[in-house]
Every structure is written in structure tokens, then in C-alpha cells.
Chains A and B, each alone.
Chain A
Amino acid sequence: DAKTTQPTSMDCAEGRAANLPCNHSTISGNEYVYWYRQIHSQGPQYIIHGLKNNETNEMASLIITEDRKSSTLILPHATLRDTAVYYCIVRDAGGTSYGKLTFGQGTILTVHP
């Protein structure tokens, strides 16, 4: 699976959009971009995933560049409860990888009042 690079930490004001970048310059054509987050001491939680088109769900939006070498997770109206570590993961969805996820160190997002 391709390696990802994320900033160590970011801050965001409550109510503003939080934009979390991820670099995955070695991504291959059959690999998807997944985002998970881990709120303090809890198990990670799935947020969103995509291949090459932008995706949106009730939690967030995912913007993937045309060359697929980077992506941005957008939390449109951040709240204090969004303070967490956010993991960007690139994974081949086929073959025998199934649910195997390779976690990096992620980005610590702190939302301030």
C-alpha cells in the first residue's frame, strides 16, 4: 500500500471549515484513499473514502486532486467534538487486503472555541 504524509497537527476555530491535507504521491491506480479519525482513547472511526471523484457524506467531504497524488478532508463546520487524530490511509480495495489498514501517525486536529 502507498505511504501517506500528513501534517503533525492543525488548529481550527469552532464553526469554521477544517481542511486536512494528505500527500500520497506514490498511489497506484487501484488504490483508494480512506479517512479515519480517533477521538481521545477511543477506537478509530471511519469517515469517508474515495478513488478519484470528490465524495461527500454526512460527516465530511473528500477532495482528491486530478493526478490523485494528494487529497483534502474537509469538515465543513468543525465542532469541539471533532477534536481528534485524523488518519489518511491508502489501500488496495481488492485482492486479499480486505480490511487491512496501515495507519501512520495522522494529524492531530484541535478545534478551539
Chain B
Amino acid sequence: NAGVTQTPKFQVLKTGQSMTLQCAQDMNHEYMSWYRQDPGMGLRLIHYSVGAGITDQGEVPNGYNVSRSTTEDFPLRLLSAAPSQTSVYFCASSRKLLSSYNEQFFGPGTRLTVL
């Protein structure tokens, strides 16, 4: 299994440009999520999904859109990039279990700079 994959690894945008960060997992996980991590800080939840066709907002959703048309893919869209969105973005997935054992698997991250 490839686990959780993210593309691109690095991206530079100009203010106002749009782009989509890709995330895919091959573990048949129902739950997927996007986090952002700013320098010296922990991860903050942007959006999450508990299954295909179902998404919800996390702690910092403004400026980001998501959709979940398949179990495998969970893209994150920036419609009009702003310098405040310069960050490292991590995608994660897990099984949808009402259980204590619900390990999150994280991707390698996308480093985004908005000029």
C-alpha cells in the first residue's frame, strides 16, 4: 500500500491564484481530513469527511473548499490564495470506527507559499 499520498510536494502561488491540493489513500478509509501547520505550531483541522459525499468544517475552514466524490480522494481547493494561507498542509485518513483504536495516517505534506 502507498498509504496517504499528497501532490504537489511544493507549490508557490501568487495572491489571488487558485489551486487544488491533491490527497489520495489506498487503505479504503472512510475518514479523511486536511490540516495546516504554521511555523512553530501544532496542526489545525481545516475540513474533514466521514465518507464519500459527506464533508464538514474543522477549526479553520475559511478560504478552503473540499469535496469527496470517491472514498480514495479528498482534494483541498484554494479559490483565491492569500499570503495568510502560506503553510504546510497535511492530509490524513483513518477508519470510521467508534473505537478508541482509530489511528490516523498522515501524508508527507504539501509546502505552499503564497506571494
Interface centre among A36, A94, A98, A103 (most CB of B within 10 A): A98
Known: A43-B107, A51-B100, A94-B98. A100 touches B44 (CB 8 A): no
Q: Which residue on chain B has the smallest CB distance to residue A93? A: B100
Chain B residues, CB < 8 A from A93: 98-100, 102
Q: Which residue on chain B has the smallest CB distance to residue A36? A: B104
Known: A32-B100, A98-B94, A103-B43. A43 touches B106 (CB 8 A): yes
A22 to chain B, nearest CB (A): 13
Provide the bound-state CA to CA distance between A105 and B107, in Å: 19
Question: Is A45 an interface position by the 8 A CB rule?
Answer: yes
Question: Is A49 an interface position by the 8 A CB rule?
Answer: yes
Number of interface residues of A (CB under 8 A): 24
B8 to chain A, nearest CB (A): 15
Give the residues from 89 to 111 in chain A that come closer than 8 angstroms, CB to CB, to chain B. 93-96, 98-106
Chain B residues, CB < 8 A from A100: 33, 45, 48, 58
Give chain A's interface secondary structure class: loop
Chain A residues, CB < 8 A from B103: 46
Q: Which residue on chain A has the smallest CB distance to residue B100? A: A93
Of B44, B88, B102, B105, the residue contacting A98 (CB under 8 A) is: B102
Chain B residues, CB < 8 A from A104: 42
Chain B residues, CB < 8 A from A21: none
Question: Is B50 an interface position by the 8 A CB rule?
Answer: yes
A93 to chain B, nearest CB (A): 4
Chain B residues, CB < 8 A from A101: 43, 45, 104
A43 contacts B98, CB within 8 Å?
A: no
